Amino acid sequence: MDDKDIFARVDALATEERALRERSVGQGLKDEERARLREVEVSLDQCWDLLRQRRARSEFGGNPDEATLRPAREVEEYES
């Protein structure tokens, strides 16, 4: 997956996230929609992490294609 593919995935996920958040205003979300929103948020975090890895590898002479999608748990436990 190259940067273009990752950005396309981010765009699709962000669109879905916006739609879910808009539906949540006023009427709230069903349980499955809340679960999907959480999945989308985690997937977005994974994509951004993958992009950061790719850029870091490129910047320091590595191969960006060797970056890997990290597990959700690992990405979600990062401290800002």
- In this prediction, residues 45-58 reach a mean pLDDT of 97
pLDDT exceeds cutoff 90 at 79: no
Give the integer Cα–Cα distance in Å for 43 and 17: 11
Give the integer Cα–Cα distance in Å for 60 and 50: 16
Query: For residue 11, what are the domain limits?
Result: 3-76
Q: What's the total number of domains in the chain?
A: 1
Percent of the chain with pLDDT over 90: 90
Q: What is the pTM of this model?
A: 0.89
Q: Tell me, what amino acid is at 78?
A: Y
